[in-house]
Amino acid sequence: MTETTAGSDWQAWQHSWDRQQEWYMPDREERFRVMLDMVEALVGPEPRVLDLACGTGSITARLLRRLPGATSVGVDQDPALLTIAEGTFASDERVTLVTADLKDPGWTRRLPHSSYDAVLTGNVR
């Protein structure tokens, strides 16, 4: 039987995205874990994080599961992936999503804050 992902089942979209990304990077989950180990060790349990090229918000989701007191600003330029992120975090005040092209020299002007405790990213291409 073929599994499909449709409509606004955001968790299903996230699961589908994770499976696709893990095909390219089998140790992706371990990389995320180590990344968050570093954040927690260096800046504590309530960091303000910038999730660069956030896609569907995979890093942000893991951040908030592990450190519920964290906040995250996710930046990406892909409208489809940002739609999944917006659906996933719609009622979560800890998350802000920003549409921006990181190649645009003025992209930081779109951010809500001028400083962050940690800047995270994974697999930008």
Ligand X SMILES: C[S@@+](CC[C@H](N)C(=O)[O-])C[C@H]1O[C@@H](n2cnc3c(N)ncnc32)[C@H](O)[C@@H]1O
Interacting residues with ligand X (CB under 6 A): 21, 53-55, 58-59, 76-78, 81, 101-103, 122-125
Residue nearest to ligand X (CB): 55
Whether 107 and 33 have beta carbons less than 8 Å apart is answered as no
Q: How many CB atoms lie within 10 A of CB 91?
A: 6
Nearest approach, Cβ of 125 to ligand X (angstroms)? 6
Residue 57 Cβ vs ligand X, minimum distance, rounded to whole Å: 8
In the complex with ligand X, the residue whose CB is nearer, 1 or 105, is 105
Query: Would you say 50 or 54 has its CB closer to ligand X?
Result: 54
Residue 30 tokens read as 């371990």
Q: Which helix (H) or strand (E) holds 21?
A: helix 10-24
Query: Which H/E stretch holds residue 83?
Result: helix 79-88
Sheet-wide strand order for 118-121: 95-99, 71-76, 48-52, 118-121
Min dist CB 78 to ligand X, Å, is 3
Q: Which is nearer to ligand X, 12 or 102 (CB)?
A: 102
Q: Which is nearer to ligand X, 67 or 75 (CB)?
A: 75
